[in-house]
Chain A
Amino acid sequence: MGRLGGAAFMPINYYIFLAIALFCIGVAGVLTRRNAIIIFMCVELMLNAVNLLLVAFSKMHHLALKATNPNAGIDGQLFVFFIMVVAAAEVSVGLAIIAMLYRNTHSVDVNFLNRLKH
């Protein structure tokens, strides 16, 4: 494996652009797609984009503050765990709801599921 040096790190901009791209694709998917399961996948995409960004910034801060405190700046990575847990819980609940909806209406088309109006 080639190492780029002891504390080498890609410029943070690369991570930011990637995260933004992922996030925007996720948003576009949520707004545009009709299938409820695809919308879920896009929501996951958004969450993962955020995770990426959090880890990247956490590493950046850690490298900047390493001299003073060996444990500095790892809060971001800890937070990512929380987000993953929440995402997992949300997916389980959401898919359960969609399964029930499908059983009752035989459709996962979001345009069809506008019963909240009443």
Chain B
Amino acid sequence: MSKFVYLVPLFPLIGFLINGLFRKKLSKSLTGVIGCGAILASFVVSLLIFLEARAPGFEPVIISLFDFIHTGTIDIAFAFQVDQLSVLFLLIITGVGFLIHVYSTSYMHEETGEHFARYFSYLNLFVFSMLLLVLGANYVILFIGWEGVGLCSYLLIGYWFKNIDYGYAARKAFVMNRIGDLGFLIALFWMLSQFGSVNFGEVFAKAPGTSVGVLTGITLLLFVGATGKSAQIPLYTWLPDAMAGPTPVSALIHAATMVTAGIYMIARSNILYTLAPVTQSVVAITGLATAILAATIALKQNDIKKVLAYSTVSQLGYMFLGLGVGAYTGAVFHVMTHAFFKALLFLGAGSVIHALHNEQDIRKMGGLKKYLPITHITFLLACLAIAGIPPFSGFFSKDEILAAAYAKNPLYYVIGVAGAMMTAFYMFRLYASAFLGNFRGAKEQEHHLHESPAAITIPLIILAIGAVAGGFLGIPEVMARDSHWLERFLAPVFSDSTKLATAHTTPASTEWMLMGVSVFLALVASVYAWTRFSKKPDLAEPHGLGKVLQNKWYVDELYDGLIVKPLNAFAKFLNNVVEKSIIDWMVNGVGKAVQYGSRQVRLLQSGQVGAYVLMMVVGMVILFLVQLLRK
């Protein structure tokens, strides 16, 4: 079955082409069927490939489609690699992607037929690019998908193109992604010159023999690319602005898939990172810092989607922390559970926004529990999952990362737990403000409040099942021997790294204590936030530190002053001085010179015959002299 893996990205590509090219002619229901059907077909094929990959002893399969670049010594094939890691991501992308496509058919139903089809074509193109990313057998194909998802992110954030602010948000996302991509490209070229190849197999085989300095450089540059794509410090400010796009887009791209591309890339390159401990520390510290920074900002946000956006940035920080301390399985596990509960949170938020007719301010919500029961229950389950409360999925994945962090450096654990506490707090603040207490909106709105249709609630329910039960795929050793199915499944992918890494074994009692402490603190924070915000909503204008947090630590303003304004000034200089004065002057000057010259030459044509004869005589004399002097 794995030789049919090319079908997996092919279906969304066809869906993109059909919906894109015939968007003016297709009916909305047909568009929805094509869009969702393509992803469903990919999911089915992925499932079949997964069943094949589940067998122990499954060797990675490389299917080469054609020669992509073939010059001199460089031979890069358009090839797909089917192994445990790519199969897992295939399932996540197509599975969650399918649910979000179904959700979108209802959420976007107000759009006209042409724009509805445009939405689905972009969404299919995105899934195609993301599948290329995870299926690529070398860094170049990965990069093609990497760029493709960046492009689709731009197209979808700016989907409602008539609003110029959304356009700026889309542009910001694309430009910041591009800055990261520069790092990725330089790493790619370095790899090519160092190893002579960018195939995963060849690079990873040659890596142990390379100098640590070179590996540190390559991995750091790859990580720069990951900071752009996965919204880490310093390239994270585009993600909250990206909430300008439709909510299903935020769920798919900025929660479940695109932003996890960085983690996939580093997990795939795990041997390179294990051999470069300096970069690992950089990754861990950056991830941790981002996790904390984003969590603090989320504490004071009032837009339901912005809270979730900063929550995403924060959770991605945790995943990078996991990668940085060598817990590759833990990070991928968190990607999986995060895909479930974050997509669920975003889709639930979309359901709320739809019910309130595009109201996103939580200060104007409240008491939605009785009007939106299914949304309420699923949202609550997602909040419990993200807060890390057992037995929900978030607990297992987050705790695996925190345990590994403790083994590396107890300080990582302490700061990580502080972040987890903040996570629990702001999530339950969000939950309580939206669903508990009394409705704070307008009376007319209250009359129209009703639960969303099935196309919205069924994906919510399915994702909720994942958010609740997903954790049981990775039960840690201390709880039950040999029950960590995910670790066993992904072991072949990370085997080289686990062999090299120094085995930190923390005693079982310490692990239980770590778990207990984090769960206890999360529970305390959740209960506190629940009770406080269900009674009295957070309506007051913040002062001091609260104001700083609400204004996102003024990072956007800092970037604006430090980078954007000087660049704009430089561009203006280039336009006014270099372009207009110098280059235009030169080009116009050539024209003016020719005109002047011709004006002067024209004076020779006086019409006086004598003058012409004189010119003839002078010419003759000159020729004569030239001949004379030549001899």
Contact pattern, B 596-609, Cβ under 8 Å of A = 1, otherwise 0:
00000000011111
Q: Bound state CA distance, A83 and B607, in angstroms?
A: 29
In this complex, how many residues of chain A approach chain B with their Cβ under 8 Å: the count is 11
The answer to the question of A95 belonging to the interface, with a C-beta cut-off of 8 Å to chain B, is: no
Say yes or no: B617 contacts A27, CB within 8 Å: yes
Q: Bound state CA distance, A14 and B472, in angstroms?
A: 125
Shortest A10–chain B CB gap in Å is 25
Q: Bound state CA distance, A13 and B610, in angstroms?
A: 32
Q: Bound state CA distance, A115 and B614, in angstroms?
A: 18
Given A27-B617, A31-B617: A118 touches B607 (CB 8 Å cut-off): yes
The answer to the question of B613 belonging to the interface, with a C-beta cut-off of 8 Å to chain A, is: yes
Say yes or no: A31 contacts B606, CB within 8 Å: no
The answer to the question of A117 belonging to the interface, with a C-beta cut-off of 8 Å to chain B, is: yes
Q: Which of A27, A30, A31, A116 contacts B607 (CB 8 A)?
A: A116
Quick one: which of A17-59 are within 8 Å of B by CB? 27, 30-31
Contact pattern, A 87-118, Cβ under 8 Å of B = 1, otherwise 0:
00000000000000000000000110111111
Q: Bound state CA distance, A97 and B605, in angstroms?
A: 21
Say yes or no: B614 contacts A31, CB within 8 Å: yes
Say yes or no: B607 contacts A117, CB within 8 Å: yes
Quick one: which of B221-248 are within 8 Å of A by CB? none
**What residue in chain B is nearest A36 (Cβ atoms)?**
B609
Shortest B259–chain A CB gap in Å is 78
Shortest B604–chain A CB gap in Å is 11
Say yes or no: A117 contacts B606, CB within 8 Å: yes
Say yes or no: B607 contacts A111, CB within 8 Å: no
Say yes or no: A110 contacts B610, CB within 8 Å: yes
Q: Bound state CA distance, A118 and B605, in angstroms?
A: 9
Provide the residues of chain B in CB contact with A117, threshold 8 Å. 605-607
Say yes or no: B610 contacts A31, CB within 8 Å: yes
Contacts between chains A and B (CB distance < 8 A), count: 25
Quick one: which of B516-570 are within 8 Å of A by CB? none
Provide the residues of chain A in CB contact with B609, threshold 8 Å. 110, 113-114, 116
Shortest B40–chain A CB gap in Å is 83
Q: Bound state CA distance, A114 and B605, in angstroms?
A: 10
Shortest A50–chain B CB gap in Å is 12
Say yes or no: B608 contacts A114, CB within 8 Å: yes
Shortest B603–chain A CB gap in Å is 11
Quick one: which of B113-146 are within 8 Å of A by CB? none
Say yes or no: A115 contacts B607, CB within 8 Å: yes
**What residue in chain A is nearest B608 (Cβ atoms)?**
A114
**What residue in chain A is nearest B614 (Cβ atoms)?**
A31
**What residue in chain B is nearest A33 (Cβ atoms)?**
B610
Q: Bound state CA distance, A112 and B606, in angstroms?
A: 12
Q: Bound state CA distance, A118 and B606, in angstroms?
A: 9
Q: Bound state CA distance, A117 and B602, in angstroms?
A: 10
Shortest B583–chain A CB gap in Å is 39
Provide the residues of chain A in CB contact with B614, threshold 8 Å. 31
Shortest A47–chain B CB gap in Å is 14
**What residue in chain A is nearest B612 (Cβ atoms)?**
A116
Say yes or no: A111 contacts B608, CB within 8 Å: yes
Provide the residues of chain B in CB contact with A113, threshold 8 Å. 609
**What residue in chain A is nearest B611 (Cβ atoms)?**
A114
**What residue in chain A is nearest B606 (Cβ atoms)?**
A117
Provide the residues of chain A in CB contact with B610, threshold 8 Å. 31, 110-111
Provide the residues of chain B in CB contact with A114, threshold 8 Å. 606-609
**What residue in chain B is nearest A31 (Cβ atoms)?**
B614
Q: Bound state CA distance, A113 and B611, in angstroms?
A: 12
Q: Bound state CA distance, A27 and B609, in angstroms?
A: 14
Q: Bound state CA distance, A115 and B609, in angstroms?
A: 10
Most buried by A among B607, B608, B610: B610
Quick one: which of B357-411 are within 8 Å of A by CB? none
Quick one: which of B584-631 are within 8 Å of A by CB? 605-610, 613-614, 617
Say yes or no: B608 contacts A31, CB within 8 Å: no
**What residue in chain A is nearest B620 (Cβ atoms)?**
A27
Shortest A79–chain B CB gap in Å is 19
Q: Bound state CA distance, A115 and B608, in angstroms?
A: 8
Provide the residues of chain B in CB contact with A31, threshold 8 Å. 610, 613-614, 617
Shortest B286–chain A CB gap in Å is 81
Contact pattern, B 290-314, Cβ under 8 Å of A = 1, otherwise 0:
0000000000000000000000000
Q: Bound state CA distance, A110 and B606, in angstroms?
A: 13
Provide the residues of chain A in CB contact with B605, threshold 8 Å. 116-117
Shortest A20–chain B CB gap in Å is 12
Provide the residues of chain B in CB contact with A27, threshold 8 Å. 617
Say yes or no: A30 contacts B608, CB within 8 Å: no
Shortest B142–chain A CB gap in Å is 74
- Given known contacts A31-B617, A110-B609, what 19 new A-B pairs fall within 8 Å (CB)? A27-B617, A30-B613, A30-B617, A31-B610, A31-B613, A31-B614, A110-B608, A110-B610, A111-B608, A111-B610, A113-B609, A114-B607, A114-B609, A115-B607, A116-B607, A116-B609, A117-B605, A117-B606, A118-B607
25 A-B pairs within 8 Å (CB atoms) are namely A27-B617, A30-B613, A30-B617, A31-B610, A31-B613, A31-B614, A31-B617, A110-B608, A110-B609, A110-B610, A111-B608, A111-B610, A113-B609, A114-B606, A114-B607, A114-B608, A114-B609, A115-B607, A116-B605, A116-B607, A116-B609, A117-B605, A117-B606, A117-B607, A118-B607
Q: Which 6 A-B pairs have the closest CB atoms?
A: A117-B607, A114-B607, A116-B607, A114-B608, A110-B609, A30-B613
Interface set of A (CB-CB < 8 Å, partner B)? 27, 30-31, 110-111, 113-118
